[in-house]
């Protein structure tokens, strides 16, 4: 009955959107007076040409997997969580507190502690807008965006006040103790003389992110809760008929979403910076929206889209380093990807459906 | 015949993607006649009329108005060609007066006052001529649906329509209002207007039309003189096979009271008092039918019983009161108490349209232990269950992986029914069981409801189709404006009396 086979919907459409975004980006690069081919070459080499490049690409990807999953889970209950940024900031606060004030004997325990603290803090930060949505009907988009600013203000306050070590001039916490430092890819994959991933920030959190992908997949498609979340997302009136409580679903899905966004902090705060600095999230919460859109809210899609954005991020940094192309170019590319995969989805979909239909009809005639 | 047909369509075809909604349709409608178009949901009636009114462009075919070949690219062109349309869902501005609605879009100039004055004069003339009495200064939201429909007709006439198309005009009317409408149509016809009446109700076709065209699966299967056909024949032409219009049922074997509703009141979110002090009961082994024009509190009654609207009063099921406001007033708790519910609107409530058939079969019962597998859902078990249910209820196509939206209305309803009836409930709430369902499936659905009754279950049936109420019910209650107007036995009453009650008149009062 569907106009298109599933693979076309899942693979072909994002791919075409991506090519369109890339084409327009190429035109912009041309307009700046640089060569798009050269630029692509640089990006690929910089992001994927060495284990060092990979180490950065995967580090960024880890952030985006967490925030992408966060937005996806909320999407399934038709909640648009734009607050990933703030939830990740507050998650970072949780990680900082637990790393600074709990004496951990070993990094593995500190990782578990970090995950829990990040998730709980992120979830709590999402819980307030969720409650306002469920009980007062305050629109989640508005409240989560406002909570981003509140989170930023909160961190500002704490990092120049209570959490700043005495005598420090920098708005940041002190260095976390040695035992909370997570093993980086360099620690894990370098044997003997050859140092792989030297100096790159990718760390064990990447594997936590992969586990999170599987967990979200199982949650959404294999559990009763996921069934209820999706049912509510498709039709609130039907969910009510079935006895699914809207309040419960909004609260739980938003808290899972916030928890996932918060968990990003084990990567950027505990794994990389090893202390909490201002603006640690660096917009990853917003990129999560693009990642979720492009990944069609499916964990596997999110994983692939996060890798892509990791590549764009790292490649973009390289571009800024070696050419006149500013780093903001990456923001342009992201915006184009969001535009094509989100807002202009139908522009690609409708003609493609027609092509498939025509193809089907011809096949039927031939048969 | 010397006169040219008012409308002639030749070889109209239209497809939407893979669906061919209209296949090579030709039809001639003579001036000064009422021409019925009958067909099941999805037969292509509305598409055809939308083409005639300029909403869709036909892929092929020609339109002739009074013998002149006419292109109708948009609704302005249709109006210019003298075609007026009364939609099933009225297109009126709720907070405008009747007069303002009539003039809207047909103002004479930038200044409103002269237009309104002219419209007032014309409305008066039209009212006298056609029995179309409407207060021109009434606000739309204050007048009843019957009146609103008259405004729609007036709008068309004010725009000099000679051809009037009415799409399912009686869906929201009481029998008395429907009779009034048909009188108006007769008057219009006498004045030489041409009327096309689209409906799925056989009786209206038989009562009101001169000729009738039957559509099935996008094709025009027959055009006949109404006087030369019968409901039975029309039904066969619509479905393509012999169907029984009668419900076979034996006398009810009534036992204990299962559902006892006492002084139920429901006030909705906007503060409107929807159900007023309603009391009734339903016993095991009987069908209680609740008749009424839609919007008179029946929906809210079902919602409270189904657990997703709050109410005050007492509802006793199987001797135990159920929770109307607290933690146990949800659909899940109701199901645990043996109450199954086929909701009025299967697309908004009964089904998740994007869910697969198998996911929908578990819907509402997804807590059932047999659907669980540790912390996960046992999707394999649900699918197996779905295959069985689809077979027993003859759901077509019997593919559990198809999304609910891919099934026809009748098959969607069968999925809901299969889910609810197979739970073996003590009490089945069922709202509009055959709305938007094809005749073939209606027969099957009615049989299932009667079979459940014969197993000794209590059934509460809410329907706006009086014929359905009369055919199925063992007792009939009528609701009007949130109140119970009284109960009748089907053998002691008729459509006329029930129709009066549906309009708020009791026998005592009417006398």
For residue B275, which of B300, B292, B294 has the smallest C-alpha distance?
B300
Q: Among B206, B239, B272, where does a domain finish?
A: B239
| pLDDT score at A367 | 60
The per-residue DSSP string of B46-66 comes to HHHHHHHTTSS--SEEEEEET
pLDDT for residue B509 is more than 70: no
HSE (CB half, 13 Å, CA atoms) of B475? Answer: 16
Q: Which residues of A touch B350 (CB under 8 A)?
A: 238, 241
B205 and B58 belong to one structural domain: yes
Same domain, A29 and A110: no
End-to-end CA distance of chain B: 50
Q: Look up the ipTM and state it.
A: 0.86
pLDDT for A3-31, tens place per residue?
Answer: 677 777 778 888 888 888 889 989 988 99
Does B256 contact chain A (CB < 8 Å)? no
Q: Is the pLDDT of residue B239 over 90?
A: no
Q: Do A137 and A284 belong to one domain? A: yes
* Same domain flag for A104 and A212: yes
Give a yes or no: residue B106 inside a domain: yes
Are the beta carbons of B362 and A273 closer than 8 angstroms? no
In total, how many domains does chain A have? 2
Which residues are paired to B275 by β-bridges? B266
| End-to-end Cα, chain A, rounded Å | 18
Q: Give a yes or no: residue B1 inside a domain.
A: no
Q: What is the pLDDT of residue B143?
A: 85
Residues A196, A157: one domain?
A: yes
How many domains does chain B divide into?
Answer: 2
Is B372's CB within 8 Å of A234's CB? no
pLDDT digit string, tens, across residues A276-304: 999 999 999 999 998 998 888 999 999 99
Domain shared by A183 and A118, yes or no: yes
pLDDT tens digits, A179-214: 999 999 988 888 777 778 888 999 999 999 999 999
Q: How far is CA A269 from CA A95, A108, A243, A284, B384, in A?
A: 7, 16, 41, 13, 48
Local confidence band at B475 (pLDDT 50, 70, 90 cut-offs): very high
Q: b/e per residue, A167-201, with b = 16+ CB within 10 A?
A: eeeebbbbebeeebbbebbbeeeeeeeeebbeebb
Residues B354 and B450 in one domain: yes
- CB-based contacts of B315, cutoff 8 Å, min separation 6: B259, B260, B261, B262, B264, B304, B305, B321, B322, B324
More confident residue, B46 or B262: B262
The answer as to whether A123 is a domain residue is yes
Contact indicator for B291, B479 with CB cutoff of 8 Å: yes
Apex A310 CA angle, A306 and A313, nearest 5: 135
Nearest neighbour of B377 by CB, restricted to A224, A242, A353: A224
Question: Is A186 found in the same domain as A97?
Answer: yes
Q: Tell me chain A's radius of gyration from C-alpha atoms.
A: 22
Does residue B389 form part of some domain?
yes
* Mutation for testing the A interface, residue in B308, B347, B350 having most A CBs under 10 Å: B308
**Predicted local distance difference test score (pLDDT) of residue B496:** 87
Confidence of residue B8 (pLDDT cuts 50, 70, 90): very high
The parent domain of residue B480 ranges over 257-510
Residues A109 and A18 in one domain: no
* DSSP secondary structure code for residue B356 in this structure: B
Kindly tell me if the per-residue pLDDT of B123 is higher than 80: yes
| Bond preceding residue B184 cis, omega within 30 of 0 | no
* Domain end among A291, A307, A323: A307
Indicate the range of A106-120, B259-273, B494-508 predicted with least confidence. Answer: B494-508
Q: How far is A178 from chain B (nearest CA, A)?
A: 38
Contact A241 B333 (CB under 8 A): no
pLDDT over 50 (residue A171): yes
Sign, CA dihedral A167-A169-A170-A171, equals positive
Residues 32-51 of B with CB under 8 A from A: none
Determine the angle formed by the axes of helices A224-234 and A246-263, rounding to 10 degrees: 110
- Are B443 and B471 part of one and the same domain? yes
Averaged confidence pLDDT in chain B: 89
Identify the CA nearest to B470 among candidates B438, B500, B443, B493.
B493
Question: In this complex, which of B306, B334, B367 lies closest to A224 when CB atoms are compared?
Answer: B367
**Are residues B408 and B434 located together in one domain of the fold?**
yes
Taking CB atoms and an 8 Å limit, are A234 and B332 in contact across chains?
Answer: no
Q: Are B455 and B475 in contact (CB under 8 A)?
A: no
Domain of residue B301, CATH code = 3.40.50.300
Interface check for A344 against chain B (CB to CB < 8 A): the answer is no
Asked if residue B248 belongs to a domain, the reply is no
Is there a single domain that holds both residue B144 and residue B279? no
Residue A102 lies in a domain: yes
Do A19 and A159 share a structural domain? no
Determine whether the interchain pair A228/B366 forms a contact, defined as Cβ–Cβ distance below 8 Å. yes
Closest C-alpha to B236, from B447, B442, B440, B433 = B440
| Residues of B in Cβ contact (< 8 Å) with A233 | none
Nearest CA-CA distance, residue A168 and chain B, Å? 50
A65 and A164, same domain (yes or no): yes
d(Cα B174, Cα B168) in Å, to the nearest integer? 13
On whether both B216 and B290 belong to a single domain, the answer is no
Instruction: Confirm if A83 and A125 have CB atoms less than 8 A apart.
Output: yes
Q: Which residues contact B306 (CB under 8 A, 6 or more apart)?
A: A241, B331, B334, B339, B341, B343, B429
Whether residue A2 has pLDDT greater than 80: no
Provide the shortest C-alpha distance from residue B338 to chain A (in Å). 14
Same domain, B60 and B159: yes
- B476 closest CA partner among B300, B295, B291, B342: B291
Nearest-angstrom CA–CA distance, B454 and B448: 10
Q: Report long-range pairs for B481-484 (Cβ below 8 Å, ≥24 apart).
A: B481/B276, B481/B296, B481/B297, B482/B266, B482/B273, B482/B274, B482/B275, B482/B276, B482/B278, B482/B296, B482/B297, B482/B300, B483/B276, B483/B277, B483/B278, B483/B297, B484/B278, B484/B279, B484/B280
Q: What phi, psi does B136 have (nearest 5°)?
A: -65, -20
User: Residue A324: is its pLDDT beyond 80?
Assistant: yes
Spatial contact of B499 and B176, defined as CB atoms under 8 Å apart: yes
Residue A232 belongs to a domain: yes
Q: What CA–CA distance (Å, rounded) separates B156 from B169?
A: 14
* Rounded Cα distance, B455 and B428, in Å: 12
- Give yes or no for residue B507 having a pLDDT over 80: no
**pLDDT(B257) > 90:** yes
Same domain, A344 and A216: no
* pLDDT score of A308 more than 60: yes
CB atoms near residue B504 (< 10 Å): 15
What confidence tier does B510 reach under pLDDT thresholds 50, 70, 90? very low
Which run of H or of E encompasses B495? Answer: helix B495-502
Q: Do A248 and A170 belong to one domain?
A: yes
- Encode pLDDT of B280-317 as tens digits: 999 999 999 999 988 899 999 999 999 999 999 999 99
Range with the poorest average pLDDT among A37-51, A63-77, A125-139, B96-110: B96-110
Q: Which of A223, A237, A357 sits opposite B18 (nearest CB)?
A: A357
In a domain, B247, yes or no: no
B192: left (phi over 0), alpha (psi -120 to 50) or beta: left
Cα-to-chain-centroid distance, residue B146: 15
What are the beta bridge partners of residue B198?
Answer: B37, B167
Q: Do strands B163-167 and B83-86 pair parallel, antiparallel, or not at all (unpaired)?
A: parallel
237-266 of A, contacting B, C-beta below 8 A: 237-238, 240-245
Q: Is the pLDDT of residue B2 over 70?
A: no
Question: Could you tell me which residue, A151 or B181, shows the higher pLDDT?
Answer: A151
**Is B76 a domain residue?**
yes
Is B304 contained in some domain?
yes
How far apart, in whole angstroms, are the C-alpha atoms of residue A84 and residue A144? 8
CA angle A14, A16, A22 (to 5 degrees): 100
| A78: pLDDT strictly greater than 60 | yes
Beta carbons within 10 angstroms of residue B457's beta carbon: 23
A54 within some domain: no
**Can you tell me which residue has the tokens 């099934």?**
B407
- Whether residue B468 is contained in a domain is answered as yes
pLDDT-derived band at B511 (thresholds 50, 70, 90) equals very low
Q: Averaged over B456-484, what is the pLDDT?
A: 93
Q: pLDDT digit string (tens) for B15-34? A: 877 778 889 999 999 999 99
**Contact between A228 and A244 (Cβ < 8 Å):** yes
- Does B322 contact chain A (CB < 8 Å)? no
CATH number for the domain that contains residue A200: 1.10.3470
In a shared domain, residues B283 and B206? no
Residues in A touching B366 (Cβ below 8 Å)? 224, 227-228, 242
Q: Which residues of B touch A361 (CB under 8 A)?
A: 18
Measured CA to CA, the distance from residue B52 to residue B77 in angstroms comes to 10
Cα(A232)–Cα(B200) distance, integer angstroms:
34
DSSP string, A28-65: HHHHHT--HHHHHHHHHHHHHSSHHHHHHHHHHHHHHH
Neighbour tally for B96: CB within 10 Å: 15
Residue A365: its pLDDT value, please? 67
The number of beta carbons lying within 10 Å of the beta carbon of residue A76 is 24
Let me know whether A185 and A286 are in one domain: yes
- Report pLDDT for A3: 64
| B64, B102: one domain | yes
In our burial notation (b when 16+ CB lie closer than 10 A, e otherwise), range A287-308 reads bbbbbbbbbbbbbebbbbbbbb
Confidence at A79, pLDDT banded by 50, 70, 90: very high
pLDDT tens digits along A240-270: 999 999 999 999 999 999 999 999 999 999 9
What is residue A11's predicted lDDT score, i.e. its pLDDT?
80
Of A224, A230, A242, the CB nearest to B331: A242
pLDDT at B464: 87
Residue B130 or B365, more confident: B365
- Least confident among A66-80, B140-154, B339-353: B140-154
Tell me which of B176, B206, B239 is where a domain ends: B239
Please name the residue ranges forming H helices in B131-230.
145-158, 175-190, 202-208
Cα–Cα dist A150/A89, whole Å:
10
Domain identity same for B390 and B498 = yes
Q: Are residues B154 and B36 in the same domain?
A: yes
Residue ending a domain, choose from B205, B239, B273: B239
Read off the pLDDT of residues B375-424 as tens digits, 9 standing for 90 and up.
999 999 999 999 999 999 999 889 999 999 888 888 999 999 999 999 99
What percentage of chain A carries pLDDT values higher than 70?
A: 98
Q: What is the predicted pLDDT for the residue at A243?
A: 94
Least Cα distance to B230 among B248, B245, B218 occurs for B245
> How close A3 comes to chain B (CA, Å)?
8
Higher-confidence residue: A6 or A143?
A: A143
Question: Which structural domain range is residue A357 located in?
Answer: 1-34+337-362
CA atoms of B422 and B405, how far apart (whole Å) = 22
Are residues B342 and B210 part of one domain? no
Q: Across the A/B interface, how many CB contacts are shorter than 8 Å?
A: 77
């Amino acid at each position: 009955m569907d106009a298109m086979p599933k693979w076309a919907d899942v693979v072909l459409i994002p791919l075409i959107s991506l090519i369109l975004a890339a084409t327009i980006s190429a035109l912009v690069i041309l307009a700046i007076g640089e060569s798009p081919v050269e630029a692509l070459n640089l990006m690929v080499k910089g992001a994927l040409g060495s284990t060092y490049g990979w180490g950065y690409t995967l580090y960024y990807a880890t952030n985006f997997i967490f925030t992408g999953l966060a937005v996806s889970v909320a999407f399934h209950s038709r909640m648009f969580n734009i607050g990933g940024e703030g939830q990740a900031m507050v998650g970072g606060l949780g990680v900082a507190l637990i790393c600074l004030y709990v004496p951990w004997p070993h990094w593995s325990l500190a990782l578990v502690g970090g995950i829990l603290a990040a998730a709980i803090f992120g979830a709590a930060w999402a819980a307030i807008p969720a409650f306002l949505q469920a009980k007062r009907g305050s629109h989640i988009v508005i409240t989560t965006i406002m909570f981003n600013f509140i989170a930023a203000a909160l961190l500002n306050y704490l990092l120049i006040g209570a959490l700043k070590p005495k005598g420090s001039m920098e708005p940041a916490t002190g260095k976390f103790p040695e035992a909370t430092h997570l093993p980086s890819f360099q620690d894990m994959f370098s044997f003997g003389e050859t140092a792989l991933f030297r100096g790159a920030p990718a760390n064990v959190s990447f594997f936590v992110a992969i586990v999170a992908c599987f967990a979200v997949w199982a949650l959404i498609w294999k559990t009763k809760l996921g069934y209820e979340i999706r049912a509510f997302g498709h039709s609130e009136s039907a969910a009510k008929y079935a006895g699914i409580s809207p309040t419960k679903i909004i609260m739980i899905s938003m808290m899972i979403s916030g928890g996932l966004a918060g968990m990003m902090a084990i990567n950027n705060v505990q794994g990389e910076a090893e202390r909490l600095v201002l603006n640690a999230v660096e917009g990853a919460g917003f990129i999560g929206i693009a990642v979720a859109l492009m990944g069609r809210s499916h964990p596997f899609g999110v994983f692939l889209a996060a890798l892509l954005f990791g590549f764009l991020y790292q490649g973009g940094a390289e571009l800024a380093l070696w050419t006149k192309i500013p780093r903001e170019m990456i923001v342009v590319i992201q915006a184009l990807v969001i535009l094509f995969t989100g807002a202009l989805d139908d522009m690609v979909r409708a003609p493609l459906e027609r092509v498939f239909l025509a193809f089907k009809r011809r096949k039927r005639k031939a048969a | 015949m010397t006169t040219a047909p008012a409308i002639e369509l030749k070889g109209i075809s239209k497809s939407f993607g893979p669906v061919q909604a209209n296949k090579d349709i030709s039809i001639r409608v003579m001036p000064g006649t009422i021409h019925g178009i009958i067909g099941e949901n999805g037969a292509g009636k509305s598409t055809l009329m939308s083409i005639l009114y300029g909403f869709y462009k036909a892929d092929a075919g020609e339109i002739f108005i009074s013998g002149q070949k006419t292109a109708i690219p948009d609704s302005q062109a249709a109006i210019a060609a003298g075609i007026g349309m009364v939609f099933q869902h009225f297109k009126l501005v709720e907070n405008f007066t009747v007069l303002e609605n009539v003039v809207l879009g047909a103002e004479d100039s930038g200044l409103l006052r002269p237009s309104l004055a002219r419209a007032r004069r014309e409305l008066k003339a039209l009212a006298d001529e056609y029995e179309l009495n409407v207060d021109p200064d009434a606000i739309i939201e204050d007048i009843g649906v019957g009146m609103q429909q008259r405004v729609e007709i007036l709008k068309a006439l004010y725009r000099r329509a000679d051809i009037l198309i009415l799409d399912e005009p009686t869906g929201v009317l009481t029998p008395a209002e429907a009779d009034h409408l048909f009188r108006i149509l007769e008057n219009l016809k006498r004045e030489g207007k041409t009327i096309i009446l689209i409906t799925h109700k056989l009786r209206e076709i038989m009562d009101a039309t001169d000729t009738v065209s039957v559509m099935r699966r996008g094709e025009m299967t027959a055009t006949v003189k109404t006087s030369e056909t019968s409901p039975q024949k029309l039904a066969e032409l619509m479905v393509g096979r012999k169907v029984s219009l009668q419900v076979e049922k034996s006398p009810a074997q009534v036992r204990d009271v299962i559902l006892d509703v006492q002084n139920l009141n429901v006030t909705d979110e906007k503060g409107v008092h929807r159900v007023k002090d309603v009391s009734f009961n339903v016993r095991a082994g009987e069908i209680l039918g609740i008749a009424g024009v839609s919007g008179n509190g029946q929906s809210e009654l079902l919602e409270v019983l189904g657990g997703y609207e709050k109410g005050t009063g007492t509802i006793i099921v199987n001797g135990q009161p159920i929770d109307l406001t607290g933690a146990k007033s949800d659909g899940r708790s109701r199901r645990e108490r043996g109450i199954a519910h086929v909701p009025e609107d299967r697309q908004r409530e009964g089904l998740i349209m994007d869910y697969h058939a198998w996911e929908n079969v578990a819907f509402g019962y997804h807590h059932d232990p047999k659907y669980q597998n540790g912390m996960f859902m046992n999707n394999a078990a649900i699918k197996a269950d779905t295959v069985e249910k689809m077979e027993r209820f003859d759901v077509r196509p019997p593919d559990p992986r198809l999304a609910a939206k891919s099934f026809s209305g009748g098959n969607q309803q069968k999925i809901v029914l299969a889910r609810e009836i197979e739970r073996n409930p003590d009490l089945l709430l069922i709202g509009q069981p055959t709305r938007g369902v094809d005749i073939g499936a209606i027969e099957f659905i009615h049989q299932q409801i009667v079979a459940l009754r014969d197993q000794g279950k209590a059934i509460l049936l809410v329907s706006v189709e009086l014929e359905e109420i009369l055919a199925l019910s063992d007792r009939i209650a009528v609701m009007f404006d949130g109140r119970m107007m009284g109960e009748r036995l089907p053998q002691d009453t008729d459509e006329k009396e029930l129709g009066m009650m549906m309009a708020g008149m009791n026998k005592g009062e009417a006398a």
